[in-house]
Structure formats: structure tokens, C-alpha cells
Structure 1
């Protein structure tokens, strides 16, 4: 009886885990100025369409450095997500400012 009750729970978990793992492996950036391009930024292939860009998160660079590198290539960002971490307003300001200094 317990085995029958666990099967639906296990199947739901099997569906949820790949989606969560995929989200944690992505970068997403919102751009202040729309762009349509595919560029390599810090050894990562970014694809942009309109005001959003995405890339597979494979490197070990600190997220703030990746954000600043994106700003240097595409211009200021309005949002930045690294895996499950969404940058807050202070982090976005720091990212945009770091790109101007670097």
C-alpha cells in the first residue's frame, strides 16, 4: 500500500528536478537597450533577442563579474539572474557601475 502511495510522489519529483536543475544552470539578463546578437562573453555564449539575453551557466566566474562583462558587451542591464539567484537593485547598480570602471 505504501509503495502505491509513493509512486505518484516520485514521478512528480522526477519531473520537477530537471526543470529546477535547468533553471540553476542559466544566466538571464534584461537589457536597457534591445539587441539581437549572439556573442561570447567570458567564455559563455550569450544569445540576445530584444531586451533579453540568456546563456548556459557553465563557468566558475563570480556572478558579479559575469554581469559586468555582459554590461560591457551589451550595455546597461535592467535585470540579471544567475541560476536561482536574482540580482536586487543594489547588485544591478553595482554591476552597471563596475562595467563603466572596467
Structure 2
């Protein structure tokens, strides 16, 4: 019995065999941010259930729904105007992505 207790204590102290296989998860990025080409007078907007708080040309939302970033970008452009940078749930848009997103205003889609 004594050896069983010592074995259990040793196993618990080392984390056990399963503990060595657990890897830390990357932090979940659930928010979004954007920079407008022209400052807005709106202090916030509600988009797909998420509140986007704006100050001058920067808007942020701490938590947004999981949806395609381009779709969200285009809908936000229609709501707030052209943007110069955009990040959504850990995805940051390139210049080509931004041009495609802002193109929704020109194409009238």
C-alpha cells in the first residue's frame, strides 16, 4: 500500500503521462478593428450583433461573430465608409484585400 501511495504521489508530481501531451492553445482572437480613410462622427455602430466603438478614424469591437472576413469588411464599408486597414478575428488584410473590400462602394454591390 505504501508503494502505491508513493507511486501515485510521484506520478502527480511529474504531471503524469497525459500531461506531457497537452499543448497550450493559441489565444483566441475574437475581435475586430479598422481604420477609416475619413474620421467618422458616429461613436458606435452595431453590426451583426457586435458593438463597434469608434473614435475619430479608429473603430474596434472586442468580440465579433465568426464569419468570412471579406464579407464583414464589405458590410462595414457600406456602413462606415472606405477603410485603410482592417483586422478581423486574427486576420489582417493586405493592400489587395483592402482594395477588394473598398471596391464594394465603387461597384455598388
Deviation at 1:37, TM superposition (A): 1.8
What is the TM-score of this pair, normalised by structure 2? Answer: 0.67
State the partner residue of 1:30. Answer: 35
Q: Which has the higher strand share?
A: 1
Moved more, 66-75 or 53-62: 53-62
Q: Which has the higher helix share?
A: 1
RMSD: 2.2
Q: Please point out which of 83, 86, 89 is paired with 1:83.
A: 89
Q: How many residues are paired up?
A: 86
What is the TM-score of this pair, normalised by structure 1? Answer: 0.71
Deviation at 1:41, TM superposition (A): 1.8
Q: Is the 8 A contact 1:69 1:99 kept in 2?
A: no
Give the Cα separation in 2 of the matches to 1:60 and 1:99. Answer: 24
Which has more radius of gyration? Answer: 2
Deviation at 1:99, TM superposition (A): 4.1
Give the Cα separation in 2 of the matches to 1:43 and 1:99. Answer: 23
Label 1:29 to 1:92 Cα distance change in 2 as closer, same or farther (>3 A). Answer: same
State the partner residue of 2:61. Answer: 55
